[in-house]
DNA sequence: TCTTTTATCTTGATTATTCAAGATATATGT
DNA sequence: ACATATATCTTGAATAATCAAGATAAAAGA
């Protein structure tokens, strides 16, 4: 019964608290492009509803209720994204925005139909894990390409937010599952280079490499 | 850019003005379960936006802009209903509510994908005509079963609002395209009887017959 | 025409969500 | 420890959508 606005707050908090287990008013405000005052007001409200544990000036975190509500939204979002790509033949560059809207209105019934039709999938088109109906989610341990040593890797996840990034990756064939070797990595220059079959080279900037998550291939 | 609320007002007005070409504040209020005062306020607003031509105490009607906005919503609604039945294998009793939500958020892109996937259909699962992308719509001349003489008929449309009604019709096999003979019709008693193949008889009340639209079969 | 009923309108208030701008607390640097 | 910077909070106001209840106009009946 949470409004779309509330669902979006919960989703953001879930993302932001992933690292340290908690987050702050300012982070949420930045994430949602709102003023801190707006977020403070909402945190008081969500705290009253039992969705977040909010200690003024100390920080905030989701309660178990808040977390399961957030996971329900994430599940919807990711199933919808996969559905749009697999069934509707839409492009992975354009499904994020669409899912962002649909996630707040599709019924449980329809979500389950999608889930069934897709064979109870565990990953969305960008490699993000899809929580099951109980909120269980497969942990992802992948590191950003920007933070690993030279070696052989496989793309397991990419950030789904930016259509331009996704478009470029797609064009270069850097989709989920793609394997390659990280050859040079000049952190100072902010550039790194990878090599794929046929000695094909590809350079990319660090802002890109921050958003491509890889796992090591035991060649 | 209209909000869901505005879209719902426009849809209601389109329905209500079908008979006489215009409607009244009270009718809209009843249709949407709102108080007349609320509707008055909204009519002033919609009038300012150029969606309705509102003459206080005289009545209201959609402007050409309002009509095309309303038809866009109706198109979405009906395409979504058909999509849910055809592709998602959902039941015609349950798709109305789902479409009611989705119609306000699906992108033009996704709607066109559905349209394409369904082969540019002209009728939804309840027999209602689907406007094309330009707002052109096939006129429907069917009469309610409650208002016709004895004879042979074919079901061409049923009201999509009430799941119980749809459930009953489905159970009795009274789906779109079904042919039958209207035998008795006792308007005073509010009951009427039809006969189908194998001399199978079926009685129904007038509230039901008001919502089943038929066209004559030239046997 | 006069009265009664019904439809419509107006006013004041409420809820959810947001911002701007000023006040206050916390953290940082010297 | 003190000044400065940053984060957070508070207050007052705005917008969209709504209702309740009283005021007014229009339609219907005698």
Note the pLDDT tens digit of each residue in B81-107.
Answer: 999 999 999 999 999 999 999 999 999
How much is the pLDDT for A1? 66
Note the pLDDT tens digit of each residue in B108-144.
Answer: 999 999 999 999 999 999 999 999 999 999 988 899 9
Helix (H, G, I), strand (E, B) or coil at A64: helix
Average pLDDT, chain A: 95
With b meaning 16 or more CB within 10 Å and e meaning fewer, what string describes A131-169? Answer: beeeeebeeeebebbbebeeeebebbbbbbebeebbeeb
Q: Is B181 in the A-facing interface, judged by CB distances under 8 Å?
A: no
How much is the pLDDT for A206? 93
Nearest to A105 among B105, B107, B113 (CB): B105
Average pLDDT, chain B: 95
- Whether residue A79 is predicted with pLDDT greater than 90 in this model: the reply is yes
- In chain A, % of residues over pLDDT 90: 92
- Whether residue B219 is predicted with pLDDT greater than 80 in this model: the reply is no
When pLDDT is averaged across residues B210-215 and rounded to a whole number, the result is: 96
Asked whether the beta carbons of A1 and A49 are under 8 A apart, the reply is no
Note the pLDDT tens digit of each residue in B156-195.
Answer: 999 999 999 999 999 999 999 999 999 988 988 999 999 9
What is the chain B residue with the closest CA to A116?
B88
| CA separation, residue B176 to residues B74, B78, B125, B165 (Å) | 20, 15, 8, 14
When pLDDT is averaged across residues A185-213 and rounded to a whole number, the result is: 93
Q: The tokens of A110 are what?
A: 């329809």
When pLDDT is averaged across residues B13-37 and rounded to a whole number, the result is: 95
Contacts of B211 (CB under 8 A, 6+ apart): B144, B158, B159, B162, B165
CB contact under 8 A, B89 and A114: no
| Band of residue A219 on the pLDDT scale cut at 50, 70, 90 | low
Delineate the domains of chain B, giving CATH numbers in brackets: 4-62 (1.10.10.10), 143-216 (2.30.30.90)
When pLDDT is averaged across residues A109-132 and rounded to a whole number, the result is: 98
When pLDDT is averaged across residues A149-161 and rounded to a whole number, the result is: 95
Asked whether the beta carbons of B62 and B14 are under 8 A apart, the reply is yes
What is the chain B residue with the closest CA to A105?
B101
CB contact under 8 A, A107 and B114: no
- Whether residue B1 is predicted with pLDDT greater than 70 in this model: the reply is no
Handedness of CA B32, B36, B41, B47 (dihedral sign): positive
A36: enclosing H helix or E strand: helix A36-48
Whether any strand D atom is under 7 angstroms from the Cβ of B196: the reply reads no
How much is the pLDDT for B197? 86
């Amino acid at each position: 019964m949470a409004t779309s606005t509330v669902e979006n707050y919960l989703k953001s908090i879930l993302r932001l608290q992933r690292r340290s287990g908690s987050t702050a008013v300012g982070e949420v405000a930045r994430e949602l492009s709102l003023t801190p005052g707006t977020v403070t007001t909402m945190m008081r409200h969500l705290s009253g509803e039992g969705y977040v544990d909010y200690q003024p000036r100390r920080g905030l975190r989701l309660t178990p209720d808040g977390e399961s509500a957030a996971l329900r939204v994430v599940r919807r979002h990711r199933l919808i994204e996969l559905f749009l790509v697999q069934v509707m033949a839409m492009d992975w560059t354009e499904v994020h925005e669409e899912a962002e809207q649909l996630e707040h209105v599709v019924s449980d019934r329809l979500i389950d139909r999608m889930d069934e039709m897709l064979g109870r999938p565990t990953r969305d088109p960008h490699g993000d894990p899809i929580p099951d109906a109980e909120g269980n989610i497969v942990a992802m341990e992948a590191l950003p390409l920007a933070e690993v040593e030279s070696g052989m890797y496989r793309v397991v996840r990419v950030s789904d937010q930016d259509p331009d990034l996704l478009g470029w990756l797609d064009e270069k064939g850097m989709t989920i599952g793609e394997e390659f070797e990280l050859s040079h990595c000049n952190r100072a220059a902010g550039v790194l280079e990878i090599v794929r079959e046929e000695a094909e080279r590809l350079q990319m900037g660090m802002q890109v490499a921050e958003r491509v998550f890889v796992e090591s291939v035991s060649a």
